[in-house]
Structure 1
């Protein structure tokens, strides 16, 4: 499989199939331990930081990735933590776009 962090998101529509359990598992193997699949429909990452400044910088970087890839997560954050949640709304589940975006976030933290 191609390195997810080197791929770019592609447009999805209602006809795009959701990823099955085997596809999800193979893609999870390319992500850091910060990520978990929730209800086979959402990819969620939990991140800890030293302070608010670093947390905010991370959130801004995630926003840049989302804008560039045109695939937007839900983000919650506080003083020293952030949670990033991806799902592909057009298909009501997980697509390659969710994993590509997560891999790009992992690359930020390497």
Structure 2
């Protein structure tokens, strides 16, 4: 299996099913620091990253936003002093899709550049 962060996000239409429990069980170990949370009845991937200051947190948020925009798949990003919480889910299907796991892995790669 290709490294998750190097896989391609596919356009997701509203008529596609969310990831199955079996698919989530296979993908979740590849992004072990992410939590599956439920919000508004939808499963979402969420992780909080810590930074030394606001400037670093803001720069990280910008890089995640740029990566998201390149593939047309956008997370919720909460930027605070020294902390950024990123939440991925697929709005069109009201839940998780393989794309969310791919982008979570890419977010982890971006974070490594700030370590």
| 1:13 matched residue in structure 2 | 13
Structure 1 runs (4+) greater than 4 angstroms displaced: none
Residue of structure 1 aligned with 2:95, choices 93, 96, 108: 93
| 1:3 matched residue in structure 2 | 3
> TM-score scaled by structure 2?
0.88
CA distance in 1, matches of 2:15, 2:3: 25
Supply the RMSD in Å over aligned alpha carbons: 1.3
Q: Which runs of 5+ in 1 are unaligned?
A: none
Deviations 1:56-103 (CA, angstroms, capped at 9, x unpaired): 110011011111111000111111001111110111110011111111
**CA contact under 8 A between 1:32 and 1:106: conserved in structure 2?**
no
Question: Size of the alignment, in residue pairs?
Answer: 109
Q: How far did residue 20 of structure 1 move?
A: 1.6
| 2:111 matched residue in structure 1 | 109
Q: How far did residue 109 of structure 1 move?
A: 2.4
Counterpart secondary structure, 2:104: helix
CA distance in 2, matches of 1:54, 1:8: 28
- Mapping 1:54-65, distance limit 5 Å: 54-65=56-67
